[in-house]
Amino acid sequence: MEEDKELFVDKGNGQMNFLIEGDNLSALKLLEKTHKGKIDLIYIDPPYNRGVDDFKYDDNYITKSNGYIHSKWISFMEIRLKIAHKLLHNAGAIFISIDDNEQANLKLLCDCIFGEQNYAGMIPWRKRTAKTDVPFGISQDYEWILVYVKSEKFNAFTKRKNSRKYYETEDIPNRPWRIHDLTKQTTAEERPNSFFTIVNPKNGEKFPENVNRTWAITKETFEFYLEQNRIVFPGDYEFLKISKPQLRYFKDEDEAKALKKTGNIAGISATTTQLPDFVGMTKEGTKDLGQLFEKKAFPDMAGFSETNLKTMRLWYRFYAEAVNGQQVVDELRADDIFRLITTIPWGHNQRIIFKCKDVHEAVFYAQYTLENNWSRDVLEHQIESGLYERKGKAITNFKDKLPANASNLAIQTLKDPYSFDFLTMRDDYDEKELENALVNQITQFLLELGTGFSYVGRQVHLRVGEREFYIDLLFYHIKLHCYVVVELKTKRFEPEYVGKLNFYVTAVNKQLTGDGDNPAIGLLICKDKDNVVAEYSLEEVSQPIGIAGYELSNALSKEYQRSLPTIETLESEVAKMMNTK
């Protein structure tokens, strides 16, 4: 984190406002050193952990299938809330937004950190109107704001306009008083000790008990209040129009109570958990955003539609941790990442953030886009084919057989597996058919091989001694400055395949490689392979060779093949149609 002078605000009165942009844990640890016990109010809106790429733990998004989804979230929150507790002033409070998914776990965690006795309440926020496509027919329309205080020194009482009417009478001079209802909305069964008949000792008038609304006090308390002159009966004062006994409160007692709670003798009200009407639902925020763009907030600039701005926010959040947190991603520092992602077109950036799981993968595709001048369609194809997972994964002996500067590039040149999803093959195709199909789709094949490959030929003839040999496919790699000999196998890898390819690479070096060329390398592409067997097979080989598999991911599954008519069935049906005509 670095200080930005333009954003720093010093009002000159000892009050300073500042915005910290970066990893929240790093920011909290910094504030712990400078603001411990000084913060009056903290509001946080943590990840809700819904299992839909909204929460990262150890640089990986946590999904619903993760067996530790809740415990990882609790561990994530615990360390941050403990620091927040230290930051709070003794009269401070923390407000935490959450939904039903983790509300119960958050409540238990906060009970442990802030103390059960410091739980102040839970504020409901209605986020939407009821939905119908919900489990069990119950729509979860509310989210919650948990409120915890640091200590009993916090209070949320507010001053209120004093609407209480006090009376001054000669029988109680210099002591204003008011009256309050003496009944309570409880039944006789609920409060049997408050179910009794009150008798006015002055005139014997009886006020019978009500089975559905008892007195608010017991008989013993009534006798005590009667002695204290706190019971007011009908007829005691002509100006009071009452039909049953009332309880008398004195103004000086009300003021003392307010003074104890708020430090002020004015009337007080507790803050309700019901949010005011102007706090709308999610749809109101969406509506406000739409109205903002209808007013053309950026009249002189193009590209700032509502959809585009939302995408820009996603783009910023996707890279924020790496760029603002000064992390190193694949040897690139924050400034390098920023320059990279702001160099490639916006359309490419959108595809990258929507399709990549993390910043490492995104940076990989951004680099290759810039280096190879990929179109958006090519970029999308490479992401969907899983190039990031496949790049540099082939089994090779390049580190042992090539110079260090060439081996790293050669390793990154190969993939495993290769994706031949642009081919459609019959069930029992052979190597010649695979070769023919690849050559017929040479443009797609070169795209899959990667940048730098140049097609030389197929079944390239070599004469060694008195014998004739034919290489399946021969390429020249412009960046490596060498021939690449490709052998195709439609079966599982066998160790003897390496010996033949080793022979071909040796022959190419002796017969085709020129003075300005580097030694050729071999690439064996098999239907499948055992990596351990492949590694053993390369142990004593003299030439640099890589071994990879391939996939025909677009080939029809057996389930679909069974549901489609056979060629014979089609021919039979066509013949019937012709005969009918």
**Domain finish residue from 384, 410, 442:** 384
Residues 422 and 549 in one domain: yes
Neighbours of 207 (CB within 10 A): 18
Q: Which of 384, 409, 439 is the last residue of a domain?
A: 384
What pLDDT score does 556 carry?
42
| pTM reported for the whole predicted model | 0.48
pLDDT tens per residue, range 236-265: 999 999 999 999 999 998 888 877 766 665
CA 318/CA 54 separation, integer angstroms? 11
Q: What is the DSSP string of 305-346?
A: -HHHHHHHHHHHHHHHHHHHTT--BTTB-HHHHHHHHTTS-H
In a domain, 78, yes or no: yes
End residue of a domain, out of 384, 412, 445 = 384
Residues 376 and 448 grouped into a single domain: no
Residue with tokens 């940076």: 363
Domain extent for 475: 393-558
**Chain segment 383-407, per-residue pLDDT in tens:** 888 888 888 888 888 888 888 878 8
H-run or E-run covering 106:
helix 103-114
> Is there a domain that residue 146 lies in?
yes
Residues 45 and 84 in one domain: yes
Q: Are residues 425 and 468 in the same domain?
A: yes
Specify if 571 maps to a domain.
Answer: no
Neighbours of 190 (CB within 10 A): 11
DSSP-assigned beta bridge partners for residue 551: 419
Q: Is residue 236 domain-shared with residue 94, that is, in the same domain?
A: no
Is 220 within the bounds of a domain? Answer: yes
Q: What is the mean pLDDT of residues 7-11?
A: 59
* Domain annotation covers residue 6: no
Is 265 a member of any domain? yes
In three-state secondary structure terms, 98 is strand
Given pLDDT bands bounded at 50, 70 and 90, which one contains residue 292? Answer: low
Domain membership of residue 210 (yes or no) is yes
pLDDT at 61: 63
**CATH assignment at residue 77:** 3.40.50.150
DSSP 565: P
Q: Does residue 238 lie within any of the structural domains?
A: yes
Let me know whether 91 and 189 are in one domain: no
CA dist., res. 114 & res. 149, Å (int): 7
Reported as a single tens digit per residue, the pLDDT across 432-473 is: 888 888 888 888 888 888 888 999 999 999 999 999 999 999
Tell me the two tokens of residue 302: 């193009």
Instruction: Give me the pLDDT at residue 284, please.
Output: 77
**Tally of domains within the chain:** 4
Cα 472 from chain centre:
48
Kindly indicate the confidence band of residue 85, based on its pLDDT and cuts at 50, 70 and 90. Answer: very high
Which residues is 198 bridged to in the sheet?
Answer: 207
Work out whether the CA dihedral 322, 325, 330, 333 comes out positive or negative.
positive
